[in-house]
Amino acid sequence: MTTNGTDKKIIIVGGGFAGLNFIQQLYRNDYYDVTLVDRNNYNYFTPLLYQVATSFLEPSSISYPFRKLFRDKKINFRMGGVTKVDPAAQRLYLDDDSILSYDHLVFAAGAQTNFFGLENIKRNAISLKGVNDALIMRNTLLKTMEEAAATTDPAERTRLLTIVVAGGGPTGVEVAGMLAEMRKYIMTRDYPELAHADGDIYIVNGEHNLLQPMSEKTHKGTYKALDKLGVRIKLHTKVTDYADQKVTFSDGEVIEAGTLIWTAGVTANTFEGMPATSLGPGGRMKTDHFNKVEGVDNIYAIGDISIQTTDPAYPKGHPQVAQVAIQQGRTLAKNFLSYAKGKKSKPFKYFDRGEMAIVGRHNAVVDLFKHRVHVNGFPALIVWLFIHVASLVNYNNKIRTMYSWIVAYITRDQFLRMIFRT
pLDDT band at 4 (very low <50, low <70, confident <90, very high): very low
Q: Please, which contacts does 89-95 make with residues 24 or more away whose CB atoms are closer than 8 Å?
A: 90/298, 92/11, 92/13, 92/37, 94/37
- Residue 14 maps to a domain: yes
Confidence grade of residue 376 (pLDDT, cut at 50, 70, 90): confident
- Domain-located, residue 394: no
Of 381, 379, 374, nearest to 359 (Cα)?
381
Considering the domain boundaries, does residue 422 fall inside one?
A: no
Please check whether residue 232 lies inside any domain of the structure.
yes
Answer yes or no: is 34 within a domain.
Answer: yes
DSSP secondary structure string, 315-339?
A: TT---SSHHHHHHHHHHHHHHHHHH
Residues 27 and 38: their CA atoms lie apart, in Å, by 18
Note whether 85 and 213 are same-domain residues. no
Domain containing 204: what range? 119-264
Residues 236, 165 share a domain:
yes
Same domain, residue pair 313 and 336: yes
170 and 296 belong to one structural domain: no
- The domain tally of the chain equals 2
DSSP string, 228-243: HTT-EEE-S--EEEEE
In a domain, 358, yes or no: no
pLDDT score recorded for residue 244: 95
Across the chain, mean pLDDT equals 92
Tell me the C-alpha to C-alpha distance, in Å, between residue 330 and each of 22, 240, 292, 336. Answer: 5, 39, 14, 10
182-217 per-position pLDDT tens digit:
898 888 889 999 988 999 999 999 999 999 989 999
Give the CA diameter of the chain: 74
d(CA 73, CA 69): 8
- Mean pLDDT lowest among 262-271, 287-296, 319-328, 386-395: 386-395
**Minimum mean pLDDT among 184-188, 294-298, 361-365: which range?**
361-365
Query: Does 355 reside within a domain?
Result: no
Task: For residue 404, tell me if it sits in a domain.
Answer: no
87 and 132 share a domain?
A: no
For residues 280 and 300, state if they share a domain. yes
Residues 323 and 287 in one domain: yes
Domain shared by 272 and 258, yes or no: no
Q: Express as a percent the part of the chain with pLDDT over 90.
A: 73
Three-state SS across 355-380? EEEECCCCCEEEEECCCCEEEEHHHH
Last residue of a domain, one of 340, 360, 390: 340
In a shared domain, residues 133 and 178: yes
Could you tell me which of 95, 89, 110, 148 has the C-alpha nearest to residue 12? 110
Q: Is 253 found in the same domain as 124?
A: yes
Q: What is the pLDDT of residue 3?
A: 41
Same domain assignment for residues 313 and 330:
yes
Alpha carbon 398 to chain centroid, angstroms: 19
Q: Are residues 291 and 279 in the same domain?
A: yes
CATH number of the domain at 250, please: 3.50.50.100
What is the average pLDDT across 301-306? 97
The CATH number of the domain holding residue 292 is 3.50.50.60
Q: Tens digits of per-residue pLDDT, 11-67?
A: 999 999 999 999 999 999 999 999 999 999 999 999 999 999 998 888 988 999 999
Domain limit, last residue, from 293, 320, 340: 340
Cβ atoms within 10 Å, residue 216: 10
- Residue 104 vs residue 47, higher pLDDT: 104
Question: Rounded to whole angstroms, how far apart are CA atoms 8 and 233?
Answer: 53
Q: Select from 264, 294, 310 the last residue of a domain.
A: 264
Q: Is the pLDDT of residue 157 over 70?
A: yes
